[in-house]
Amino acid sequence: MRSALVGAALTYVLLLAAPAAHAARFGIADDAGKYAEGDASFFRQVRALGMTENRITVHWQPDRPRTIVEKAFLDRSLAVGQEEGVRVVFHVFALSPTAMTASPDAVENFTSFLELLAGTYPEVREYVVGNEPNQPRFWQPQFTPSGRGAAAAAYAELLGRSYDALTEGSRPGHPRDRARALRQGQRSAVRALERVVVAGAVPARPRRRLPGERPAAPRR
C-alpha cells in the first residue's frame, strides 16, 4: 500500500489556491480511504508521507439527482480522515458523458446536488467540479454540428453555476468561508477565462462578482 501511495503522490500533487503567505498543501487523489470501512491505516500512511489532503470522487447520477450515492462510505471516510488530520476534497462529476447536455435541467439539478453536498458535509471546504471535459469519454458533445468547439463553453457555464451554488448561503461552515481566503487566486482565474472569452473561444456570460469585489472601473 505504501508504494502505491508514493506512486499516486508523484502523479498527483494537490496545490490549492491560497494567499501567498500560506504554504502549499500536498495530497493525493485516491478512493482507497473512502472504501476502507473505517480503517484508519490509509489516512495514517498519507500523513506518514507528509501529505494532508485526499481527493475522493463523488458521482452524481442524473436519474437520482438528489441522492448522495455511497453516502455511508463518505460518512465513514470523512470522520476517519478528520480524526487522522487529513482534509478530504470532493471531486464531483457524472459518469455519463452526456449527463450535463442531455437535458435542459441537468446543470440546475447538478448545482442543486452541490448545494446538498455542501449542506450535508460542511467540513468539506474544497470541491473539484467535472472531469476532463476536453475528452469525449467524460463530456459530449465536444463539437457543434458545424465543427466549432462546444465542450469548453458548456463546461465554463457549469463552473460558473457551480461556483454560485457553493458560495451562496450563510450556513456555518459553508464554502463561502473559503471564498474570502481564495478571492485573489479566483480573480486571476476569472481574468484568464475573460481573456479566452475576448479571444472568441467562449461566449461572453455575465458573471456574479466575488464576495467583497468592487465593480470594475469603466474603461476609457
Could you report the per-residue pLDDT of 19-34, keeping only the tens digit for each? 444 678 899 999 999 9
The whole-number pLDDT of residue 196 equals 45
For residue range 140-169, list pLDDT tens digits in order: 999 999 999 999 999 999 999 999 999 874
Range of the domain at 106: 2-198
Does some domain include residue 216?
Answer: no
Q: Which residues contact 96 (CB under 8 A, 6 or more apart)?
A: 62, 102
Query: Across all residues in the chain, what is the average pLDDT?
Result: 78
- pLDDT value of residue 216: 60
Q: Is residue 136 part of a domain?
A: yes
Share of the chain above pLDDT 70, in %: 66
Report if residue 207 sits inside a domain: no
Please indicate, yes or no, if residue 66 is contained in any of the structural domains.
yes
Q: What's the total number of domains in the chain?
A: 1
Query: In this structure, is residue 123 part of a structural domain?
Result: yes
Domain contains 210: no
Q: Is 214 within a domain?
A: no
| pTM given for the model | 0.70
Q: Is residue 186 part of a domain?
A: yes
